[in-house]
Amino acid sequence: MTSYLHALVDYGLQTAQLLQEGQVGWMTVNRKTGEHIREQQPLTKKLRLLALFNPLTDWLDRTHLMRWHLHEQAVHEGDTESSPKSRAQIRQFVETYGINMDDFEPSDIHAYRSFQDFFIRRHKPGSRPIAAEGADTVAVNAADARVVCFESVSETTRLWIKGKDFTIGNLITDNVAARIWDDGAVASYRLSPQDYHRYHCPVSGTVRWWKQIDGDYYGVDPVALRSAVNVLCLNARCAVCVDSPEFGAVLFVAIGAQEVGTVKFNESFMTSGSQVKKGDEVGMFEFGGSAIVVCFEKGRIQFDQDLLDVSKREIMMDVEVNTSLGKAV
């Protein structure tokens, strides 16, 4: 009862602060500049999230009607954004979010056939160099995204992912296979709609197994992640285990979210025995926000200190794909 009341008070304070400040995005730290910034996010979207994920409505994870609605919404959004008419949205989207099209190929927004085509745009070669390329003792970030890193699963659930049933076993629906990551280190990424939505392998190694897991389409905003609703283990997702000589077994889970109709893996990451390199493209998300969880065996990685320091303050770090994540122990 006490924890419920604390959660309810925290929800009330969050709502009041948002209304008072008129700034609704979560605070992040830009890794390049060290600047504290707020993400751009519509007030209506934030208030809707607060309404859905709070102590009074945590029953949502048992409400089939809500899951059906979110699924239908995802399918509808995907169809809309794939139509040729959706091209008209691209210019305003680029200007609103300040997207540097020089980083992408094609850089001309008129070259995209639809907003969906633009959404899954590719980086221009060389725009995201791989940190310590050729040195497999350095792991790299999986996406252009915001990330928190914790040295153990227990620290992750204490500070960040508050879903009451979150475990690595539930995340991959296999408690036996998950034992290798018992209290291992976790990097949790969140991608917003304006981000590059392809994701890349953090280490080099051999694909041991992969699996696709059906699920729902809850949002992965921190409001949702820090509620009792276990969104990461409920949403549709794909998982792959890569055996790395330097880092041991590395788990990579790409998780769809609200408005994401598809989580796709490339063929090499769906083939046991495939040799993969850090920086290789694992796959992509189609339209919407999404999340990635990367888990390392206990004691096999030392995350970069700047990432750890910000994460312990419960703030996400804005990072670019292929930049340093940590070193093998």
Cα dihedral 279/280/283/284 (nearest 10):
40
Count of residues making up the chain: 329
DSSP 164: T
pLDDT for the residue 166: 84
What's the rounded Cα separation, in Å, for the pair 194 and 287? 10
Contact (CB, 8 A) for 290 and 257: yes
Q: What is the DSSP letter of 15?
A: H
Residue burial 32-43, b: 16+ Cβ < 10 Å; e: rest = eeeeeeebebee
Tell how strand 316-319 and strand 27-30 pair up.
parallel
List the alpha helices (DSSP H) in the chain: 2-21, 43-52, 64-81, 90-97, 115-119, 153-159, 168-172, 222-225, 231-234, 305-312
Residue 262 CB-density burial (10 A; 0-12 exposed, 13-18 middle, 19+ buried): middle
Q: How far apart are CA 33 and CA 208, in angstroms?
A: 38
In 3D space, the residue among 239, 236, 241 whose CA is nearest the CA of residue 258 turns out to be: 236
Does residue 11 contact residue 55 with C-beta atoms inside 8 Å? yes
CA angle 18, 53, 31 (to 5 degrees): 60
Q: Which residue in this structure is represented by tokens 């605070």?
A: 27
CA angle 71, 75, 81 (to 5 degrees): 140
User: What positions carry a catalytic annotation?
Assistant: 144, 200, 290
Question: Mean pLDDT of residues grouped by 10 in the chain (329 residues)?
Answer: 47 50 70 88 50 48 50 53 87 92 97 93 97 97 97 87 79 96 95 91 98 76 54 84 98 80 88 98 84 96 98 95 98
pLDDT for the residue 228: 55
CB-CB contact of 222 with 206 (8 Å): no
Domain ranges of the chain: 1-329
CA neighbor of 10 nearest in space, from 61, 45, 53, 63: 53
